[in-house]
Structure 1
Amino acid sequence: MSRMCDFCGKTYQQGNLVPRGVGNRVTRRTLTRRKANLRSKRLEINGRMVRVTICASCLKRLKKDIKEANLALVQATAQARV
């Protein structure tokens, strides 16, 4: 499936459009699709640049994990020097 996150598998969510008004809450309901916030990014995986489709929440998590890994690496090298 093309519109799917390669990391978590997130696609779309299906819901109802419910208009306001007396009596309309029951009679007129239209199905809608809420699309995932997908981005196309090039990431280095196993030494190769690969184009992946990733949702914004996974991208945010990935950036945070990279930042934490770099911080841990800096702290480990600082400990080794002392």
Structure 2
Amino acid sequence: MSKLCEICGKSTVAGNRIQHKHSVGWRYKAPKSKRQFKPNLKNVDLDVDGSLVKATVCMKCYKKLRKEDQS
């Protein structure tokens, strides 16, 4: 399963893992290592033209879809 939202295209993003100490100069010397920020995905059955289609969507899109269904 791909880590990709099928509606908005949100996917994993690379960043740094930083150990935090609460002092001013520490953030410049803090050890950094690579990590990935992954989207919060959910498998959903969508009603498209009267037929159910399975899709992987992020929670932001899922909330929008639920809000549209309620109104």
**Which of the residues 39, 42, 50 maps onto 1:39?**
42
Q: Comparing both structures, which one devotes a greater share of its residues to strand?
A: 2
TM-score by length of structure 2 reads 0.80
Instruction: In structure 1, list runs of 5 or more residues that go unmatched.
Output: 69-82
Q: Comparing both structures, which one devotes a greater share of its residues to helix?
A: 1
CA distance in 1 between partners of 2:5 and 2:68 (Å): 18
Q: Displaced runs of 4+ in structure 1, greater than 6 A?
A: none
Contact kept, 8 Å, 1:4 with 1:10, in 2: the verdict is yes
Aligned residues: 68
Percentage of identical aligned residues: 29
RMSD, aligned α-carbons: 2.0
TM-score by length of structure 1 reads 0.70
